[in-house]
Structure 1
Amino acid sequence: MAVILSVSGSPSATSRTTRLLRHVDRRLASHGHRVLALDARSLPAAALLAADTSDPAIARAVELFEQADGVVIGTPVYKAAYSGLLKVLFDLLPQYALRGKTVLPLATGGSTAHVLAVDYALRPVLNSMGAGHVTQGWFVLDRHVGVREDGSTELERETEVLLTPVVDAFSVALAPRAVLAAAG
C-alpha cells in the first residue's frame, strides 16, 4: 500500500489537531498503509525559521515529504487561516514538494466560522505546491476531539461518522498513485 506522511502544524504540546491526526493515522494504517508522523513543533525552531535545510532534522522532514505517496496535513485554524508554524514548514520545502501526491487537508478550530479555512486558505497552498490530487478536506470543532480516561482519543460520535468516509476516500484515492510509485 501507500506511504503516508501525517503532518501536524500545531504548535501545542496538547494539541487536539495532533490527536485528530493520530486518530486518522490509525484508520489509514488499518487500511494497510504505512503512516509516518511529523509534528512540525518538534523541528528545531532556529533551523525552521532560517529554512536551514542542512539541519539534520529539517533535511529529514524534507526527505519524508519526498518519500510519501500521500500527505495528510492537519492544522489548527488561527485568524481564519492555517497555523504560522505550518506556513514556515511549507516555506522551506521545495516549490513542488507535493507534486503527484494525494493530499488530505484537515483543520480544527473553536468555531464553525472557520470551516472555510480548509478550502480558502489551505487548499490553494497545497495546489501551488503541485499536489496531484487534493481530496475533500474536513474541519472539526476542537471541542469534538476528546481524551478518554486511558489517554486515547475520542471523537464526538457525529464527527466520527462524518470524518470516516472522508478518510476512507483519501485511502482509496491513494491506491492508483501507490501502484504507480511501486512500478516506477
Structure 2
Amino acid sequence: MAVIATISSSPSTASRTDGVLSEISRQLQRAGHLVAPIVLRDLPAGPLLRGDADDPDIAAAVGSLEAADAVVVSTPVYKAAYGGLLKTFLDLLPQFALRGKVVLPVATGGTPAHVLAVDYALRPVLASLGPSSISPGWFVLAGEVTLFESGEVLLEESAARPLREVTAVFLDTLAGRTLLGARPERREAVA
C-alpha cells in the first residue's frame, strides 16, 4: 500500500476539477492505496502568497506531500495555463520536493484549445521538482463533467475511460511495472 497525496488546486468549493480528482481518488483507494488530500484553497492565503513555508498549515501540507510515495496534481486551466493557486504552492516547495515520487498530472478546462497545458505548462514545472517519473497526464473538458447538488460527480465515458487508463499507468509505474515491456531484441546488422 502506498500513500498518494492528491493536490486539489481549484479555488472553488464545487468544481469539476475536484470532481475529476475524486474519481481518481476512488480508483486509487480501490487499488488499496491511502489517499492524503491536500486542498490548496483551504490553506491560509496570506502565508501562501508570501511563500511562508514556516506557517503551520503550509508546513503540514508540504510535510504531507514529502511523506507521500506518489502525487496526483489536479488543476483547472485558465488562459492556457495551470491555476495560480497551484503555481503559488509549487513555488514554495523545496527544490526537490518530488524526488523519488511518481506524479500524475490532470487538468480540466472549458475548451480543447487548452489540452496541451498539461504537457507544455504543467509537466516542465513538475519535472523541475525532481520526480522519479511523471506518468502520462490527461485533460478533461469541463463539459464532460456533471456536478450534482448532492456532491455526486458524473463523468461522460469519453472522459472516464481515459482517466481510468492514465490512472492505471500511474499505478503500474508506482508499482515498478511498465507497460512498455522488455527491451527490444537487438538485431544484428546484415551485411
Question: Which has more helix, going by share of residues?
Answer: 1
Q: After the TM superposition, which residues 110-121 of structure 1 pair with which residues of structure 2 at under 5 Å, given as runs? A: 110-121=110-121
Stretches of structure 2 that go unaligned for 5 or more consecutive residues are: 178-191
Q: Name the structure 2 match of 1:51.
A: 51
Give the C-alpha shift of residue 34 in structure 1. 0.5
**Does structure 1 residue 36 correspond to structure 2 residue 36?**
yes
The count of corresponding residues between Structure 1 and Structure 2 is 177
Equivalences for residues 28-177 of structure 1 within 5 A: 28-148=28-148, 150-176=150-176
Separation in 2 of the partners of 1:150 and 1:90? Answer: 32
For the Cα contact (< 8 Å) 1:103–1:131, is it kept in 2? yes
SS in 1 for 2:10: coil
Q: Secondary structure of 2:7's partner? A: strand
Whole-Å separation in 1 of the counterparts to 2:162 and 2:100: 27
CA distance in 1, matches of 2:92, 2:146: 32
One-letter amino acid of the counterpart of residue 131, structure 1: P
What corresponds to 2:24 in structure 1?
24
Q: Give the structure 2 partner of residue 12 of structure 1.
A: 12
Distance 2:62 2:145 in 1: 29
5+ residue gaps, structure 1, are 178-184
Q: 1:150: Cα distance to partner?
A: 4.1
8 Å CA contact 1:2–1:175 kept in 2: the answer is no
If you compute each CA radius of gyration, which structure gives the higher value, 1 or 2? 2
**Runs of 4 or more consecutive aligned structure 1 residues displaced over 4 Å after TM superposition:** none
Name the TM-score, length of structure 2 as normaliser: 0.89
- Shift in Å at residue 158 of structure 1? 1.7
The TM-score with structure 1 as length reference comes to 0.93
Letter in 1 for 2:31: H
Where relative contact order (Cα < 8 A, 6+ residues apart) is larger, the structure is 1
**Residues 150, 9 of structure 1: alpha-carbon distance in 2 compared, 3 angstrom cutoff:** closer
State the identity as a percent: 54
Q: Quick check: 1:2–1:70 contact (8 Å CA) kept in 2?
A: yes
CA RMSD of aligned residues (A): 1.3
